[in-house]
């Protein structure tokens, strides 16, 4: 299996793995992923080996020395080839990863033909983009096209006992006795998949602060601010704008610890992005805020008891064919009020 993209992209492939393993329990499965997403896979008992491919590392090696780059690439291909895989399933939409599997001597190379990038695949399926259904469903359709049953739909994320113990300790130390009151995780960031454009998927941190205060006042909830190290300032901005106290795990967690802590929460409130899909895969209940991106394609899957909150403007969604429309005002998020979001979340919490 090959997917060298972000957290959500990798988690979307886990139903493929579950169905492959269900159809052939003795199947040996390797996975090519980047170092950021590898922790999502390394605890999964259905995956036998994870290979790390970081394009930035390879590009950096190339800038230093062409010879060093070729040596690094040769070593990576040799590592894959040594496992003697007979089939690859590549959903990276990359001609280069297709070339790697060809060089590694993998005879059956399956994937999507997207904008001519499937040259090295010998079993390819036309893809014009992810538009009319969820990405997971495109992946499962690919499985059915090669004769694999797709009864399993859920994302899969295995958690280490050490991470579960860490989450128990964090709650005990930072919140104490719950007494039946809700614990709400709040992620004002959204992961790194959009790089410098990640801000276009984020609801205003001041809105998150106001929402947090309303939830604390209405439900006597305990709030935990969460995110990665790059979002410390963002979480700090939310915390400073709040009238009430919140615990914070921002910048303190591994992916596994984040997932375990999300599972401890009564509800996770998140923007569109990798943290949403980690929470879903971990079995947490989520309320996600969507702006430019189509939630029917990239939202929580399966929807189940997750809710999506959006403004429903005529211009939504404007992210299509892997490109965001040129729009700096982002009205889909800037016009979404605290009261609108609170009303949706209130109904969920009242129902439980």
Which residues neighbour 97 within 8 Å (Cβ) at sequence distance 6 or greater?
2, 4, 32, 53, 90
Burial class (CB in 10 A: 0-12, 13-18, 19+), 98: buried
Cα gap 119→114, rounded to integer Å: 10
**0.85 exceeded by pTM:** yes
d(CA 273, CA 298): 9
180 band by pLDDT with thresholds 50, 70 and 90: confident
Residue 43 in contact with residue 57, Cβ under 8 Å? Answer: no
Q: Give the model confidence (pLDDT) of 91-127 as tens digits.
A: 999 999 999 999 999 999 999 999 888 899 999 999 9
- Looking at residues 166-183, what average pLDDT do you find? 90
With 70 as the cut, is the pLDDT of residue 146 above it? yes
Q: What is the pLDDT of residue 29?
A: 98
Q: What angle do CA 10, 13, 14 make, to 5 degrees?
A: 100
Contact between residue 148 and residue 20 where contact means Cβ atoms under 8 Å apart:
yes
Share of the chain above pLDDT 90, in %: 83
Q: Mean pLDDT score of the chain, rounded to an integer?
A: 93
268 pLDDT above the threshold of 90: yes
Strands 183-187 and 267-271: parallel
Q: Which of 8, 59, 3 is nearest to 275 (CA)?
A: 8
pLDDT given for residue 207 in this prediction? 97
Least confident of 100-104, 151-155, 247-251, 311-315: 311-315
**For residue 194, what pLDDT is reported?**
67
Domain span(s) for CATH 3.40.50.2000 in the chain:
7-145, 161-350
Q: What is the mean pLDDT of residues 51-80?
A: 93
Please, what sign has the CA dihedral across residues 148, 149, 155, 156?
negative
Give the up-direction half-sphere exposure of residue 37: CA atoms within 13 A in the CB hemisphere.
Answer: 28
Quick one: pLDDT band at residue 322, thresholds 50, 70, 90? confident
Mean pLDDT over 236-253 rounds to 96
d(CA 277, CA 11) in angstroms, rounded, equals 7
Question: Which pLDDT band holds residue 350 (cuts at 50, 70, 90)?
Answer: confident
The CATH number fitting domain 161-350, selected from 3.90.1580.10, 3.40.50.2000, 3.40.50.720, 1.20.1240.10:
3.40.50.2000
DSSP 164-216: HHHHHHHHHHHT---TT--EEEEESS--STTGGGGGGGPPPHHHHHHHHHHHH
Q: Would the pLDDT of 216 be above 80?
A: yes
pLDDT tens digits, 20-54? 999 999 999 999 999 999 999 999 999 999 999 99
pLDDT the model gives residue 64? 93
Decide if 265 contacts 168 (C-beta within 8 A).
no
Instruction: Return the CATH number of the domain spanning residue range 7-145.
Output: 3.40.50.2000
Q: How confident is the model at residue 351 (pLDDT cuts 50, 70, 90)?
A: confident
d(CA 270, CA 287): 6
pLDDT for the residue numbered 331 = 92
């Amino acid at each position: 299996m090959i997917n060298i993209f972000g957290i959500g992209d990798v988690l979307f492939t886990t139903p493929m793995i579950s169905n492959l393993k269900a159809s052939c329990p003795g199947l040996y499965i390797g996975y090519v992923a980047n170092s950021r997403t590898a922790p999502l896979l390394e605890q999964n008992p259905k995956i036998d080996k994870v290979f790390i491919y970081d394009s930035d590392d390879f590009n950096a090696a190339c800038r230093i020395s062409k010879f060093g780059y070729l040596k690094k690439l040769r070593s990576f291909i040799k590592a894959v080839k040594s496992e003697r895989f007979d089939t690859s399933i590549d959903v990276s939409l990359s001609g280069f990863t297709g070339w790697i599997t060809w060089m590694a001597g993998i005879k059956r190379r399956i994937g999507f033909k997207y904008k001519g990038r499937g040259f090295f695949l010998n079993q390819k399926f036309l893809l014009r983009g992810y538009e009319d259904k969820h990405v997971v469903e495109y992946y499962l359709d690919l499985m059915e096209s090669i004769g694999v049953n797709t009864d399993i739909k859920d994302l899969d994320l295995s958690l280490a006992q050490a991470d579960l113990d860490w989450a128990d300790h964090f709650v005990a130390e930072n919140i104490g006795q719950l007494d039946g009151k809700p614990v709400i995780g709040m992620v004002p960031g959204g992961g790194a998949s959009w790089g410098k454009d990640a801000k276009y998927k984020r609801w205003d941190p001041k809105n998150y602060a106001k929402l947090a205060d309303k939830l604390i006042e209405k439900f006597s909830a305990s709030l935990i601010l969460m995110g990665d190290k790059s979002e410390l300032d963002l979480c700090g901005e939310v915390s400073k704008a709040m009238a009430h106290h919140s615990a914070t795990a921002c910048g303190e967690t591994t992916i596994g610890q984040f997932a375990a802590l999300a599972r401890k929460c009564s509800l996770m409130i998140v923007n569109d992005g990798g943290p949403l899909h980690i929470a879903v895969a971990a079995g947490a209940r989520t309320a996600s805020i969507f702006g430019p991106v189509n939630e029917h394609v990239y939202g929580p899957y399966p929807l189940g008891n997750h809710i999506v909150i959006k403004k429903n403007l005529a211009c939504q969604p404007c992210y299509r064919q892997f490109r965001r429309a040129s729009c700096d005002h982002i009205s889909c998020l800037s016009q979404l009020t605290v009261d609108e979001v609170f009303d949706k979340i209130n109904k969920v919490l009242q129902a439980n």
